[in-house]
Amino acid sequence: MHELSIATAVVAQVEEAVRTNGGARVASLRLRIGELAGVVPEALRFSFGLASEGTVLAGARLELDTVPGRARCDGCGREYAVGMPPLLWCDGCARPLAELLSGRELEIAEVALMDASEVARVDSSDARRRDSGEDRGTPRAVSDT
């Protein structure tokens, strides 16, 4: 389960970004995961819950964008969706596809940061909702950006 190692690396990198950019908490983060990156999104989501516990990322919404594998044939110039398992071969030209254009991404695209006043506002509205019985244990709502 290297998804836990990957989640741990994500948490460390985002913590670093929070330190350099300022911010009290991470509202959400978006990762781009290529179809061919060898990472299972569900396993990553589960691991992220564990790895983010007790950090500024705790409770952050994790968005996972899947990036399809695409490749280009040098012979006919066509671009293919390579599929899964990938077919890196052009049947028309009977030759290997020259170049994989996408599909191996394993990238932190962006993070949404809340500053201290925003955190206080979200927490107090959470508390209000809890008091009025609205909260049913759903994840903390994150304001739009």
Binding site for another protein (CB under 8 A): 1-2, 5-6, 9-10, 12-14, 17, 21, 23, 27-28, 31, 34, 36-39, 67, 71, 84-89, 95-115, 118, 142-145
What single letter denotes the amino acid at residue 114? Answer: M
Q: How far is the CB of 78 from another protein (least distance, A)?
A: 15
28 within 8 A of 62, measured Cβ to Cβ: yes
Of the pair 124, 143, the CB lying nearest another protein is at 143
Choose among Zn ion, another protein, none what residue 58 binds, the Cβ cut-off being 5 to 8 Å by kind: none
Residues near Zn ion, by CB under 5 A: 73, 75-76, 90, 92-93
Question: SS3 for 76?
Answer: coil
97 within 8 A of 89, measured Cβ to Cβ: yes
112 within 8 A of 29, measured Cβ to Cβ: yes
Q: How far is the CB of 132 from another protein (least distance, A)?
A: 25
Q: Extract the tokens encoding 130.
A: 């809890």
Q: How many CA atoms lie within 13 A of 111 on its CB side?
A: 26
Q: How far is the CB of 129 from another protein (least distance, A)?
A: 19
What single letter denotes the amino acid at residue 67? Answer: V
Q: How far is the CB of 14 from another protein (least distance, A)?
A: 8
